[in-house]
Structure 1
Amino acid sequence: LPAEVAYPVDILEDSPEGHQAAAQAYYDSLRERAPTAAEIFPLPTGEQVKLETSSLCFCTVYRDEPQHKILVLVSPQDTKTVVAVYLKESWWSTEDVLRTSDPTRKGLMKVRSFGERIVLFILNVIIFGKLERSLDDEDMFFLPHPAKEQAKILWRDGAAIGFYSTKMKGSLCGNGTNACYQLPVFDTVFVRKKCRRQGLGTAMLQDFCDTFQEEEALGVSCPISPTMYQVLRQFLLACPAHRGRLWEVEPPGAWGQRANIWLKVYLQEARLPEGSIAQPGCTGEDMSRPRQTLQDDRLVQCDHGESHKVEQWCVIPWPSSLFCDLLAFV
């Protein structure tokens, strides 16, 4: 694409219904065409994919509003891999959907427009959920965010490279319940593989804490993986003012459903012999294997999907006075 061409996030109107109607009309037109008249979509890899209904499907954009869908093109070799999205009466590769021609899009920016919701969906469901997720017995599919989920996208060098979402204080914990979150909760987060090991996980935590400066207590969705604890440890060592604010929480986050993260980090390290070395795979922000767990009616990603290299660190004896201070948090 020419450099001056705007990308979908820059030009999509805030009209999910209108967009879906256009996508449905296009899909219906393909069904009426003769097989020999199939168009070709060229992938960045050089592969060419036929635009025919057998290679197309509609994906639900929002978990709580299944009527809103987008039309996607899948790879003939792997029907679970989305290679392009139909937007503004044109096909765009998934990488181009994540790009922007707006120079003001940089850093962490709140998701506001329909176009940004599409970018969040692509990062969440397609990039993380299908392409960059480690598949093992503990992993589960990552569901789309609700339509009004509070989230921020991380923009750098003209492209979206990550996101984090927040459960807002006072928002419902899930469908079928009247319980509401009693504090803001750092819920899902992801950074693309190519951008990991650059301290972006701790940067997102800092942004989360700064966003809710007036709140005395902030949550991080339970359970927290060992690698995420290392990110939190690094963050809290560098920012002691937040040690009494961050809590591992289960919905809705009442006092009986909270555990102080700084205290848990201390107790975890106190169980290691003095002078021992932490396991190499759990240093710094080594979060290359995002995980998630089913909680209520939602999936919670527990790792932050990016890494920051730290050579190694030693467990240092903690003074008893610090332990007493930590106990005061619970």
Structure 2
Amino acid sequence: MAAARGRPAGDLYPMDIKDIKLEALEAESRAYHAKVLKQPSSAAEFFSVPGREKVKLEASLMRFLPLYREESKCALLVLIDSQDKNTVLAIYLHSSWWLIEDIVKTTDPSREGLMQVQTSAERILLFVLNCIIFGMLERGSTCDVLFMPHSEKECAKIFWRSGEAAAFYTTKAKGSLCDSHTSLCYLLPVLDTMFVRRKFRRRGLGLEMLHDFCEVFTAEDALGISCPVSVGMYQVCQRFLEIHPEEQSRLWEVESPGDWSQRINIWLKIQLEQNFPKQMDVSCNMERFPDDEPGPSAKGWTNEKGEHVPQLGTSTCEEKLHKSDQEKASSLQPHGGEHAIQQDTDVQQRRESKKRASRGRPAEDRAPKQCRAMP
């Protein structure tokens, strides 16, 4: 039974292995798991984890986790910590157990900077970054928003730095379905999730990913960042918009599908917070992340319909926006004077939306967010 940690021929990491077939990986994992179930406990092997005692490879410490949001598509066999059942120690790939820290590495020198997720190996890596490293190992104690694995065809880029996967971000394309439970489509491109690993923070990776997002959709007049936006992500946005003032009118905090009643201009909101620091809290409905680095959200997996989606703003936020829109919007009109009118219209539409909600109108047409933006 091949269970010990090791590398395939050529001293490669899992990311370096070409032509991975997920169906074959899962079949191999299930065959190995079936053997472990049948063997006596006394015959179990052990797995070495740096900095701790060896872990006994027994079936009670193994789980199959869905690689994609569509749970029936593919599953990965993982080894969990006997002392913390919510922590994954290793993943079974290519007849070996691999530490998480090895799965995010590569020997390929051409992997540097932002690269589109395309291969099956990159899909596995995206899962590891999103669900294991952020969701289990580096999630801040104050982060309480549920998240799920990405969809099979999620549009994503991984940021490679010095032979390691350092960060990633995902986007929802304009015209794509908000989720599988509605026919609503996104009305603008949306940056849905962003995460930078703790060891790579404060190196400008968040700024580079945000710039890349704006460059990819340079022809669009409006770009969204999925609501709620964390305090750390707002700080990244502020630095970015100070460097690139031409983008100030394009970035909006949005709820899906992103019509005008579901948008708040990010630069305007930053300016209002600076002018009303004690009277207005722009962090309403934002999660806080350690080290001022935005990140995805919280612990475990959840059904889409059960995921909590905070409202875009509070009544306090709306009052301040309403009183200050006409004064502040004039500075946000690089494309003309329509934004001052639009901001006032947005506030009124949000109020009408609240009134409709208070009358019992169902909110099922609002697509749940997978997780929140966060470098």
User: What's 1:64 paired with?
Assistant: 70
Partner SS for 1:86: strand
Q: Distance in 2 between matches of 1:100 and 1:7?
A: 6
Distance 2:79 2:159 in 1: 25
- In the other structure, the counterpart of 1:165 is 170
Q: How does 1:154-233 map to 2 (within 5 A)?
A: 154-233=159-238
Which digits, 9 at most, give the CA deviation of each residue in 1:133-153, with x for residues without a partner?
1123x5133211111110111
CA shift for structure 1 position 241: 1.3
Within 5 Å, give how 1:240-259 maps onto structure 2: 240-259=245-264
Contact 1:165 1:186 in 2 (8 A): yes
Once the two structures are superposed, residues 178-199 of structure 1 have per-residue CA deviations (whole angstroms, 9 ceiling, x without a partner) of 0000111011111111111112
Letter in 1 for 2:215: D
Instruction: Report whether the alignment pairs 1:81 with 2:87.
Output: yes
- Partner SS, residue 224 of structure 2: strand
Deviations 1:66-104 (A, max 9, x none): 341000111122121111100011111011111111111
- Equivalent AA in structure 1 for residue 30 of structure 2: Q
1:119-134 correspondence to structure 2 within 5 Å? 119-134=125-140
Q: Contact (CA 8 Å) 2:20, 2:120: kept in 1 or not?
A: yes
Determine the C-alpha separation between the residues in 2 that align with 1:198 and 1:299. Answer: 32
State the shift of 1:321 in Å.
Answer: 8.8
When residues 289 and 164 of structure 1 are mapped into structure 2, their CA distance, relative to the original with a 3 A threshold, is closer
Matches within 5 A, 1:1-330: 4-11=10-17, 13-136=19-142, 139-272=144-277, 286-288=291-293, 290=295, 292=297, 297=305, 323-326=329-332, 328=337, 329=339, 330=342
Cα–Cα, structure 1 residues 289 and 256, in superposed 2: closer, same or farther, change >3 Å?
A: closer
- Aligned-residue sequence identity (percent) comes to 47
Which structure 1 residue ranges, 4+ long, deviate > 6 Å from structure 2? 293-296, 298-302
**CA displacement at 1:4 relative to structure 2:** 4.9
**TM-score, L = length of structure 2:** 0.74
CA deviations 1:191-217 (Å, max 9, x no partner) are 111111112111110011111112121
Structure 2 CA distance for partners of 1:296 and 1:59, relative to 1, 3 Å: closer
Shift of 1:239: 0.4
Residues 301 and 145 of structure 1: is their aligned pair in 2 closer, same or farther, counting only changes over 3 Å?
A: farther
Q: Which moved more, 1:185-194 or 1:62-71?
A: 62-71
Segment drifting more, 74-83 vs 86-95:
74-83
Answer 1 or 2: which has greater helix percent: 2
Letter in 2 for 1:232: C
- Residues 45 and 26 of structure 1, relative CA distance in 2, 3 Å threshold: same
Corresponding residue for residue 3 of structure 2: none
Per-residue CA deviations over 1:42-67 (Å, capped at 9, x if unaligned) read: 11225311111011110111012434
Q: How many residues align?
A: 301
Local SS of the residue matching 1:151 = strand
Mapped contact 1:8–1:87 kept (Cα < 8 A): yes
Q: 1:104, 1:223 → 2: CA distance?
A: 35
Q: Do 1:290 and 1:301's aligned partners in 2 also have CA atoms closer than 8 Å? A: no
Q: Structure 2 vs 1, CA of residues 96 and 301 (structure 1 numbering), >3 Å: closer, same or farther? A: farther
> Is the 8 Å Cα contact of residues 62 and 77 (structure 2) preserved in structure 1?
yes
Name the amino acid aligned to 1:13: D
Per-residue deviation, 1:296: 6.6
Deviations 1:222-276 (A, max 9, x none): 1223332221111000001111111111111112222211111112212249xxx
Alpha-carbon distance in 1 for matches of 2:175, 2:128:
28
Matched residue of 1:205: which SS?
A: helix
Unaligned runs of 5+ in 1: 274-284, 303-319
The residue matched to 1:177 in structure 2 has which SS?
coil
SS of equivalent residue, structure 1 residue 163? strand
Could you tell me how far 1:289 is from its partner in structure 2? 6.4
By how many angstroms is 1:322 displaced? Answer: 6.9
2:304 & 2:31 partners in 1: Cα distance? 37
The CA distance in 2 between the partners of 1:295 and 1:142, in whole Å, is 9
TM-score by length of 1: 0.84
